[in-house]
Amino acid sequence: MTPRILLIISGGIAAYKSLELVRLLRKRGIAVRAVLTGSAQQFVTPLSLGVLTENPVFTDLFDLKDEQEIGHIQLSRQADLVVVAPATANIIAKMANGIADDLATTLLLATDKPVLAVPAMNVRMWHHRATQRNLVRLHADGVHIMTPDDGAMACGEFGTGRLPEPEAILAEIERLLALPKNSDSLAGQPDFADAPETNTALHGKHILITAGPTHEPIDPVRYIANRSSGKQGFAIAAAAAQAGARVTLVAGPVQLPTPPGVDRIDVQTAREMLSAVETALPADAAIMVAAVADWRTADAADQKLKKDGSGQPAPLALVENPDILATLGRHAHRPALLIGFAAETQQIAEHAQAKLARKGADWIVANDVSGDVMGGENNAVQIVTPSGIETWPVLPKGQVADKLIAKVAHALSARSD
Ligand code: C5P
């Protein structure tokens, strides 16, 4: 069966790119029905979309003829995937709040099919707290959301908010429909309904992950540690295993269940973590998420330290712990892709850039921990690579994990091509 897309085009300057997207979808053998919002019609015409989709184009909720022949509920459910591209800040706000005041938003509220939103807007609108709040809600509702590209905007400003290129949108649609990539035709492929659901993007790869804090003993009852719940690292391990990888998770002391399909090695200290990591090599990618304590006591006491009545605290001599990430960065068995995390509270991107070079990593995932990230459910990250910085919206940690693993799979497949 031919895969079917319901393409909702909302009104922004990037709407013209939807014509190219339709052309690519048709070339790929995907059937498209298009819906235009009122303001989208200022940028593209129903006529040009009708010609390209080879289907009627819908614009009006109260078009009786369409209502009799097709019905808006039916229209929203006949597709395999609903794609909103471009998705303006306005339609994102309506989707997040369940507003249905035109055909496009009524279809979005009535659909029982997966939805992909491809945002495009001015950089300030993208970063506005209201938009970011709406995106978090949509993610929680299960809507798939692409991150806009960085670059110059039609309005003359520069930043995140450009519609991703039609080829990238097509690739995401192929992924969501579980269609094989890089093929012009679906001839000979299994019916859409029979397409495999298993994600095999990392099949045959070994992914090594550290997570949680380390505990550096001072005496039998006290220790030095960083605040870390381990949630983000465990979510990444779960996502990697779901993508078919062999996963080794070296975990500091945390209260979390082992994700299905993950080999877990529990450690307490930074030195134990380093030793477990080196033993687990070689790996195709290493993702060092652990909040490793920078220092340990020079000599942990065998007995509990006691107050001696003098009012003076017991002296605590510290020595530096090994840097696991930096050790891997110069290791004979350095993984092909080495990723570090950086918890920062200020000048996040600048510090991450410096860390990239200092540790010999390929990417640094910089997270802003000035809010309630530690132990919380959401994370705000920037992916810093030698070629630039990607800013992701505030997302649940599970979604950050999924996106990161998709990016890892893409990078590893590019390296092995
Ligand atoms: O230098 P900083 O602690 O900010 O670096 C953070 C990154 O380095 C994280 O990826 C963390 O897992 C890693 N790291 C490490 N060993 C250390 C300190 C940090 O692997 N001793």
Closest residue (by CA) to atom 4 of ligand 1?
Answer: 342
**Residue 170: strand, helix, or coil:** helix
Question: How many residues would you count in the chain?
Answer: 417
Ligand 1 nearest-atom number relative to CA 328: 20
Amino acid at 319: V
CA 325 to centroid of ligand 1, rounded, Å: 6
Pick from 288, 338, 339 the residue to mutate for probing ligand 1's pocket: most ligand atoms within 8 Å of its CB.
Answer: 288
pLDDT at 326 over 80: yes
Spatial distance between the Cα atoms of 417 and 407, rounded to a whole number of angstroms = 15
Phi then psi for residue 392, to 5 deg, are -100, 150
**Pocket of ligand 1, candidates 323, 339, 344, 345: which has the most ligand atoms within 8 Å of its Cβ, to mutate?**
323
Q: What is the mean pLDDT of the chain?
A: 88
Do residues 275 and 195 lie in contact, with contact meaning Cβ atoms separated by under 8 Å? no
Comparing CA positions, the residue from 44, 169, 46 lying closest to residue 119 is 169
Ligand 1 atom at minimum distance from 339 CA: 10
Q: In angstroms, what is the span from residue 395 Cα to ligand 1's centroid? A: 22
- Express each pLDDT in 19-40 by its tens digit: 999 999 999 999 999 999 999 9
Which pLDDT score is estimated for 176? 87
Q: Which atom of ligand 1 is nearest to the CA of 359?
A: 8
* Residue 307 predicted with pLDDT over 70: yes
Active-site residues, by number, are: 155
Instruction: Report whether 400 contacts 390 (CB < 8 A).
Output: no
- How far is 379 from 374, CA to CA, in rounded Å? 9
Ligand 1 test: best mutation among 272, 289, 345, 359, most atoms within 8 Å of CB? Answer: 359
- Check whether 183 has a pLDDT greater than 60: no
Q: Which residues, at least 6 apart from 293, have a Cβ–Cβ distance to it below 8 Å? A: 213, 214, 215, 216, 224, 225, 226, 270, 321
pLDDT of residue 66: 57
Grade residue 315 by pLDDT with cuts at 50, 70 and 90.
Answer: confident
Q: How far is the CA of 332 from the centre of ligand 1 (A)?
A: 19
- pLDDT tens-place string over residues 331-377: 999 999 999 999 877 787 788 889 999 999 999 999 877 666 566 78
- Global pTM? 0.58
Question: For residue 128, what are its two tokens?
Answer: 């506005």
**Residues in CB range of 227: below 8 A, 6 or more apart:** 213, 291, 374, 375
**Tokens found for residue 220:** 């039998």
Name residue 389's amino acid. Answer: I
Ligand 1 centroid to Cα of residue 323, in Å, is: 6
* Residue 346, pLDDT score: 79
Q: How far is CA 14 from CA 10, 18, 38, 84, in A?
A: 9, 8, 15, 12
Pocket of ligand 1 (CB under 6 A): 210, 270, 288-290, 292, 321, 323-325, 340-342, 355
DSSP 221: T
User: Which residue is closest in CA terms to ligand 1's atom 9?
Assistant: 341
Listed ranges 68-82, 99-113, 136-150; the one with the highest mean pLDDT: 99-113
CA of 293 to the centre of ligand 1 (A): 8
* All domains in the chain, ordered by first residue: 4-193 (3.40.50.1950), 206-302+310-416 (3.40.50.10300)
Distance 373 CA to ligand 1 centre (A): 17
d(CA 282, CA 139): 35
Closest ligand 1 atom to residue 289 Cα is 12
Give percent of the chain with pLDDT exceeding 70.
92
